[in-house]
């Protein structure tokens, strides 16, 4: 039996060096897998390595990073920990920044945006939000060593990045086309990495495999995506222990004893699901995930991010104290 | 509060909430339970990851209504009603819509063949949400179902899917269109026309940025698309009326975690601000424990010694230690979750019901486990929030 967390001959080992050296890290995954806490953890980890990191959320009215850092990020990056800046790539501000990259005269940009009709036009142009958001990420790379982006859920994240392909048919000339080509090259760059956060649950693993396939088929990315298997429990029991556990599970016990046995079965179920997830990711996508155990119950988002950073750091060979949150 | 009675009075349930909280499962469970009550239920999912198909045990579910074979559900439950499901095909829905409101076939074909349209249908952010409300309206008009359950996409930006129809209508507003189309109406040739005023300058700048090919495509598209304004506006008004109807109920679905209850609270506020009918909150995936002490109960130790007699030395202690650790964590988790449920209940005070649905063992991907979820929702009295 293969144990979770160990290498499988049919899967590529996680490209942690690629993550360590990345200049753009985009974090996605099915809803509820812990994208925002994982993105925060990666940003924290890279910052602890002495890199200047900007952690950005992609246009959310309800910034999920607020829960991690205690206050709402805005369009202007704010240093929250040493080497770590946090921001929200909000639409109106991004639009201004984007127009500035096209039209260098600030006064003209202002005049354009003062026109209501133009604003609605820009709102309506297909793909404008995606192109503008990606442009801001690209601009941020000039100011920071690495940009970590908390992307939308996988389906939406794919269409956001796929705009670099589909929009080429739409914009057949002009600076916007050149811009889209530059964004396409940014995604194909070897220093750009996609991280997909998954959980050891059938539906999540299925969606993760689908997401990896879509990205592979569309050839949008240069580097190999990294999969983070969050809230996973590697197997903890020997065969005799497992047999005893099964025997106990088959008995009808008093309330207290039954409660302990049920708790144990929850854990065992998660352990089995972790193994299944590792096998399925290897077989269907040739991917070996980085396995991250659940944070202690009741851990707040900051504590959870620290927990993930510590485990990811261990996989990278970084000491735990280096990624402490405070 | 008796949720069966609530469901009996409802014809449209809209499930809203963040991703990964079991929204699709809840929608399917509500539809299935309604079928056992004799209703003809349709579950519409928008999710691109085909999760509903997954939980219904269907390999493929296309953009057409599919009737689910309920077979024998077990436990003596008979389904007198029907359960149907379908997945939103955004592009197909958009094409259908254009076909319906276009003045003639030639106009329809011109729109469908246009570059801008093709990309807009595929990539226009929010068109998926918009198309969901469109399809919803169609399903209601169809009349084959007496209950429709809508599973909304896990949008980050709350009720975007309610906003997007308005966005299209606003854009098609004659003022905007007139402005954009002005140079074309005069049949002027791009680049050589003479125009006056600031809008001309702005328009020319947009041409410089987006490229003249794009603006030409857009203008051609809009000349046809603009003719659909009345059609779009009428549909939009009808959809809004449908969502505000007495028999429509919005249900906030969340998991007992900080981030998810936070989103649920936000949804409730947004619904109130839009004057949309709020049914209440479902808190999914709740863990429970009954034994509230630390330690290994004596009867468990005794039984463990008996069943592990043939195992190597130390096995019993390790198993009991493992059980204890698992229990300590489960207790802490259950306590945290109750605090979360209580806080969301407090915030939602006076809104409607607050139903907690226990996490069931194994994954919900067949009808019998879906039915268990349905029973947990409808057969346990729900407190008022």
Specify the DSSP element, H or E, that contains A39: helix A35-48
Contact A297 B329 (CB under 8 A): yes
The alpha carbon of A133 is separated from its chain's Cα centroid by a whole number of angstroms, namely 16
Read off the pLDDT band of A326 (50, 70, 90).
low
**Domain assignments of chain A as residue spans, ordered by start:** 16-235+277-323
- Chain A residues within 8 A of B258 when measuring between CB atoms: 67, 300-301
Token pair belonging to A55: 């952690």
What is the rounded CA–CA span in Å between residue A87 and residue B278?
33
What is the rounded CA–CA span in Å between residue B130 and residue B90?
9
What is the rounded CA–CA span in Å between residue B283 and residue B343?
12
ipTM exceeding cut-off 0.90 for this assembly? no
Specify the DSSP element, H or E, that contains B82: strand B82-87
Hey, is the C-beta of B319 within 8 angstroms of any chain A C-beta?
yes
CB nearest A127 (choices: B123, B304, B327): B123
Shortest distance, CA A17 to any CA of chain B (angstroms): 30
For A57, list phi and psi in degrees, rounded to 5: -100, 145
Using alpha carbons only, give the angle B52, B58, B62 rounded to the nearest 5 degrees.
75
Q: How far is CA B288 from CA A254, A265, B332, B334, B360, in A?
A: 16, 13, 10, 6, 10
pLDDT digits (tens, 9 = 90+) for A210-246: 999 999 999 999 999 999 999 999 998 999 999 999 9
Q: Which of A72, A152, A249, A297 is most worth mutating to test chain B (most B CB atoms within 10 A of its CB)?
A: A297
Shortest distance, CA B70 to any CA of chain A (angstroms): 22
Token pair belonging to B8: 């009996």
Contact B291 A267 (CB under 8 A): no
Q: Are B291 and A265 in contact (CB under 8 A)?
A: no
Token pair belonging to A108: 């003209």
Token pair belonging to A73: 């990020």
State the Cα torsion B1-B2-B4-B10 to the nearest 10°.
-40
Token pair belonging to A31: 């809803």
Shortest distance, CA B1 to any CA of chain A (angstroms): 29
What is the rounded CA–CA span in Å between residue A281 and residue A152?
22
CB nearest A126 (choices: B123, B156, B332): B123
Q: Is the pLDDT of residue A55 over 80?
A: yes
Shortest distance, CA A192 to any CA of chain B (angstroms): 23
- As a three-state string, the secondary structure of A220-266 is CCCCCCEEEECCCCCCCCCHHHHHHHHHHHHCCCCHHHHHHHHHHHH
Specify the DSSP element, H or E, that contains A134: helix A128-143
User: A169 to chain B: nearest residue by CA?
Assistant: B115
Q: Are A26 and A195 in contact (CB under 8 A)?
A: yes
Q: Which of A34, A253, A263 is most worth mutating to test chain B (most B CB atoms within 10 A of its CB)?
A: A263
A positions 69-98 inside 8 Å of B (CB):
none
Q: Are A305 and A41 in contact (CB under 8 A)?
A: yes
**Domain assignments of chain B as residue spans, ordered by start:** 3-161+236-289+337-378, 298-332
Hey, is the C-beta of A103 within 8 angstroms of any chain B C-beta?
yes
B positions 18-57 inside 8 Å of A (CB):
18-21, 47-49, 51, 54-55
- The one-digit pLDDT tens for each residue of chain B (385 residues) are 899 999 999 999 999 888 778 888 899 999 999 999 999 999 988 764 455 566 665 666 667 888 888 877 766 677 789 999 988 776 777 788 888 888 889 988 988 888 778 776 665 444 566 677 778 888 999 999 999 999 877 655 546 656 666 666 666 665 556 655 555 544 443 333 334 455 566 667 777 778 878 877 777 777 777 777 777 778 878 888 888 899 999 999 999 988 888 888 888 888 888 888 999 999 999 998 888 888 899 999 999 999 999 999 999 999 999 999 999 999 999 999 999 999 898 887 888 899 999 988 777 777 888 899 999 999 998 888 7
Hey, is the C-beta of A201 within 8 angstroms of any chain B C-beta?
yes
B positions 273-312 inside 8 Å of A (CB):
287, 289-291, 293, 296-297, 299-300, 303-304, 307-308, 311-312
Instruction: Output b/e per residue, B357-377; b: 16+ Cβ within 10 A.
Output: bebeeebbbebebbbbbbbbb
Token pair belonging to B31: 């539809």
Contact A31 B18 (CB under 8 A): yes
Token pair belonging to A143: 């100011």
> First vs last Cα of chain A: how many Å apart?
41
Contact A263 B205 (CB under 8 A): no
Inter-chain Cβ pairs, chain A and chain B, closer than 8 A: 255
Residues in chain B: 385
- Is the CATH code 3.40.50.300 the one for domain A16-235+277-323? yes
Hey, is the C-beta of B330 within 8 angstroms of any chain A C-beta?
yes
What is the rounded CA–CA span in Å between residue B299 and residue A259?
12
- Chain B residues within 8 A of A32 when measuring between CB atoms: 18-21, 255, 260
CA count, 13 A, side-chain hemisphere, A126: 28
Token pair belonging to A41: 């953890």
Shortest distance, CA B78 to any CA of chain A (angstroms): 28
Residue B90's Cβ-count burial label (10 Å; 0-12, 13-18, 19+) is buried
Hey, is the C-beta of A121 within 8 angstroms of any chain B C-beta?
yes
pLDDT digits (tens, 9 = 90+) for A101-150: 888 888 888 877 887 777 777 777 777 888 999 999 999 999 999 999 99
- Is the CATH code 1.10.1040.10 the one for domain B3-161+236-289+337-378? no
Hey, is the C-beta of A235 within 8 angstroms of any chain B C-beta?
no
Q: What pLDDT shows up at residue B113?
A: 86
């Amino acid at each position: 039996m293969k144990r979770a967390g160990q290498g499988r001959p049919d899967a590529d080992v996680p490209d942690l060096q690629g993550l360590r050296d990345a200049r753009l890290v985009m974090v996605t995954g099915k809803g509820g897998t812990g994208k925002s806490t994982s993105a925060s953890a990666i940003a924290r980890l890279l910052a602890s390595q002495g890199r200047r990191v900007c952690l950005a959320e992609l246009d959310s009215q309800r910034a999920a990073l607020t829960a991690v850092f205690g206050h709402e990020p805005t369009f202007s990056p704010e240093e929250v920990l040493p080497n770590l800046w946090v921001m929200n790539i909000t639409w109106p501000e991004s639009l201004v920044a984007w127009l500035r990259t096209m039209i260098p005269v600030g006064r003209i940009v202002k005049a354009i945006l003062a026109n209501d009709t133009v604003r609605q036009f820009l709102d309506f142009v297909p793909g404008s939000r995606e192109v503008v958001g990606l442009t801001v990420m690209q601009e941020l790379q000039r100011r920071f060593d690495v940009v970590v982006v908390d992307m939308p859920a996988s389906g939406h994240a794919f269409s956001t990045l796929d705009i670099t392909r589909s929009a080429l048919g739409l914009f057949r000339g002009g600076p916007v086309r050149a811009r889209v080509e530059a964004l396409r090259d940014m995604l194909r760059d070897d220093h750009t990495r996609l991280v997909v956060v998954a959980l050891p649950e059938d539906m999540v693993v299925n969606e993760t495999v689908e997401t990896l396939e879509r990205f592979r088929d569309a050839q949008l990315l240069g580097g190999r995506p990294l999969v983070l298997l969050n809230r996973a429990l590697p197997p903890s029991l020997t065969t005799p222990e497992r047999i005893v556990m099964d025997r106990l599970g088959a008995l009808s016990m008093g309330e207290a004893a039954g409660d302990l046995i049920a708790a144990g079965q929850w854990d065992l179920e998660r352990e089995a699901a972790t193994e299944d997830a590792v096998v399925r990711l290897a077989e269907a996508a040739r991917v070996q995930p980085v396995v991250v155990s659940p944070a202690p119950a009741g851990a707040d988002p900051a504590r959870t991010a620290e927990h993930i950073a510590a485990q990811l750091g261990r996989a990278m060979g970084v000491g735990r104290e280096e990624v402490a949150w405070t | 509060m008796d949720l069966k009675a609530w469901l009996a009075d409802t014809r449209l349930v809209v499930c809203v909430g963040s991703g990964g909280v079991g929204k699709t499962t809840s929608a399917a469970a509500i539809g299935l339970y309604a079928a056992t009550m004799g209703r003809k239920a349709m579950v519409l999912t928008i999710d691109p990851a085909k999760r509903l198909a997954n939980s219904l045990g269907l390999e493929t579910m296309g953009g057409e209504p599919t009737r689910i074979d309920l077979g024998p559900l077990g436990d003596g439950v008979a389904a007198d009603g029907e359960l149907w499901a379908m997945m939103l095909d955004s592009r197909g829905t958009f094409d259908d819509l254009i076909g319906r409101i276009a003045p003639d076939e030639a106009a329809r074909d011109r729109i469908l063949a246009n570059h801008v349209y093709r990309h807009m249908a595929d990539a226009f952010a929010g068109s998926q949400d918009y198309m969901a409300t469109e399809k919803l309206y169609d399903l209601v008009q169809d009349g084959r179902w007496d209950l429709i359950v809508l599973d909304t996409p896990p949008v980050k930006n709350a009720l975007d899917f309610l906003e997007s129809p308005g966005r299209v209508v606003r854009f098609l507003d004659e003022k905007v269109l007139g402005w954009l189309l002005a140079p074309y109406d005069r049949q002027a040739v791009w680049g050589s026309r003479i125009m006056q005023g600031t809008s001309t300058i702005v328009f020319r700048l947009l041409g410089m940025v987006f490229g003249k090919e794009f603006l030409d495509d857009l203008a051609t598209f809009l000349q046809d698309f603009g003719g659909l304004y009345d059609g779009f506006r009428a549909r939009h008004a009808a959809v809004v009326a449908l969502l505000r109807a007495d028999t429509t109920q919005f249900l906030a679905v969340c998991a007992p975690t900080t981030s998810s209850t936070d989103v649920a609270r936000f949804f409730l506020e947004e619904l109130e601000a839009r004057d949309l009918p709020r049914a209440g909150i479902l808190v999914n995936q709740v863990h429970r424990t009954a034994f509230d002490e630390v330690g290994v109960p004596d009867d468990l130790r005794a039984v463990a010694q008996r069943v592990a007699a043939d195992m190597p030395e130390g096995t019993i202690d390790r198993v009991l230690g493992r059980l204890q650790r698992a229990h300590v964590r489960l207790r802490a988790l259950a306590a945290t979750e109750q605090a979360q449920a209580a806080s969301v209940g407090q915030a939602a005070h006076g809104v409607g019901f607050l139903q907690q649905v226990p996490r069931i063992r194994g994954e919900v991907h067949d009808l019998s486990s879906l039915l268990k979820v349905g029973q947990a929702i409808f057969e346990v009295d729900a407190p008022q929030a």
